[in-house]
C-alpha cells in the first residue's frame, strides 16, 4: 500500500531533495520504509556521514509507524556551535 | 532561557539571565565565526536550525546537566542566518555554587549541543560552499 508523507529537509538534505519540503510516496509506513524510498530516489543521501529521521521533533527509531499528522524531518550530520 | 535567533546575541544579557545571587561562579562559553577553514578564507557562514526540535533537544541537554551539576541558573542563545567572521554564533552561560561545576557543566552543555541539536552551518568561500561535517571525506572539527 502506498502512503504519502510530507518531508522537511534541512542542511545538505535540503539541497539533495531540492527544497525545504517534499512529498514522498512510499510503500509501507515505517521510518525504515521511508528511508528505503528516499535512498532509492536520492542516492546522494547514501554519501552522508549519517542521516537521522525525526518525527514530531524527536529522533525516531526505524520501526516507528508514521501517521498522516506526523511532522517528519531529515536530520543530516549536525554542525551547530 | 533557550533562544534560537536571527539577531545579534547580547552576551551580557545571556550572562545576566544565568546569574544567581546564591552562585559563586558563572561560566560562559562564547562561540565565534572563524575567518578560515581548510586553509581557505571563509567569507561568511550560513546557519540553519530545525527550531522546534533544537529547542527540545537543548532542553533535554539542560535537564541532564541539571541532574549532574547543581545549576543555579543557565541560558543559551544560538544564532541562525548569515554570520560574518568574528560574530558570536552561540553563547552558553551557567551558574553554580562553586567554579569547578560551572566549568564542567558549561563544557558538557556546549559539547552536547554541538553533537545533538539539529543546527547546521555552511561555510561560504570565494570559490564555493560546503555544509560542515556532512560527508565522511569532509570531516573536520567545526
Of A49, A57, A80, the CB nearest to B134: A49
Q: Which residues of A touch B118 (CB under 8 A)?
A: 10, 54, 73, 75, 78, 80
Q: How confident is the model at residue B135 (pLDDT cuts 50, 70, 90)?
A: confident
Q: How many CB atoms lie within 10 A of CB A51?
A: 19
Q: Which residues of B touch A8 (CB under 8 A)?
A: 50
Q: How many CA atoms lie within 13 A of B73 on its CB side?
A: 18
- What is the pLDDT of chain B when averaged over all its residues? 95
Among all chains, which residue has been given the C-alpha cell 561562579?
B25
Q: Which residues of A touch B116 (CB under 8 A)?
A: 78
Domains defined for chain B, CATH in brackets? 2-127 (3.90.1170.40)
β-bridge partners, A27: A2
Q: Is residue A40 a contact partner of residue A26, using CB atoms and an 8 Å limit?
A: no
Q: Is residue B43 a contact partner of residue B130, using CB atoms and an 8 Å limit?
A: no
Q: What is the pLDDT of residues A56-68, one digit of tens each?
A: 999 999 999 999 9
Least confident of A70-74, B28-32, B38-42: B38-42
Question: Taking the mean position of all CA atoms in its chain, how far away is CA B98?
Answer: 23
Distance (Å) from the alpha carbon of A1 to chain B's nearest alpha carbon? 30
Q: What is the pLDDT of residues B66-84, one digit of tens each?
A: 999 999 999 999 999 999 9
Domains defined for chain A, CATH in brackets? 2-75 (3.10.20.30)
Say whether B134 and A80 touch across the interface (CB within 8 A): no
Distance (Å) from the alpha carbon of B79 to chain A's nearest alpha carbon? 9
Q: What is the pLDDT of residues B47-63, one digit of tens each?
A: 999 999 999 999 999 99
What is the SS3 assignment for B59? helix
Amino acid at each position: 500500500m502506498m502512503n504519502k508523507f510530507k518531508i522537511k529537509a534541512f542542511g545538505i538534505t535540503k539541497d539533495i531533495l531540492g527544497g525545504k519540503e517534499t512529498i514522498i510516496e512510499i510503500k509501507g509506513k515505517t521510518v525504515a520504509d521511508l528511508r528505503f524510498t528516499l535512498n532509492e530516489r536520492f542516492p546522494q543521501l547514501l554519501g552522508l556521514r549519517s542521516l537521522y529521521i525525526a518525527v514530531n521533533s524527536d529522533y525516531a527509531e526505524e520501526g516507528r509507524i508514521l501517521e498522516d499528522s506526523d511532522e517528519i524531518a531529515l536530520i543530516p550530520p549536525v554542525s551547530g556551535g | 532561557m533557550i533562544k534560537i535567533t536571527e539577531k545579534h546575541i547580547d552576551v551580557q544579557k545571556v550572562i545576566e539571565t544565568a546569574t544567581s545571587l546564591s552562585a559563586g561562579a558563572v561560566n560562559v562559553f562564547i562561540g565565534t565565526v572563524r575567518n578560515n577553514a581548510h586553509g581557505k578564507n571563509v567569507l561568511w557562514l550560513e546557519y540553519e536550525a530545525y527550531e522546534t526540535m533544537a529547542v527540545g533537544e537543548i532542553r533535554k541537554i539542560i535537564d541532564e546537566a541539571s541532574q549532574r551539576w547543581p545549576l543555579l541558573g543557565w541560558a543559551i542563545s544560538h544564532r541562525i542566518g548569515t554570520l560574518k567572521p568574528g560574530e558570536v554564533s552561540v553563547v552558553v552561560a551557567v551558574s553554580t555554587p562553586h567554579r569547578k561545576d560551572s566549568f564542567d557543566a558549561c563544557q558538557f552543555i556546549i559539547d552536547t549541543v554541538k553533537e545533538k541539536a539539529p543546527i547546521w552551518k555552511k561555510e561560504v568561500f570565494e570559490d564555493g560552499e560546503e555544509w560542515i561535517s556532512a560527508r565522511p571525506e569532509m570531516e573536520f572539527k567545526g
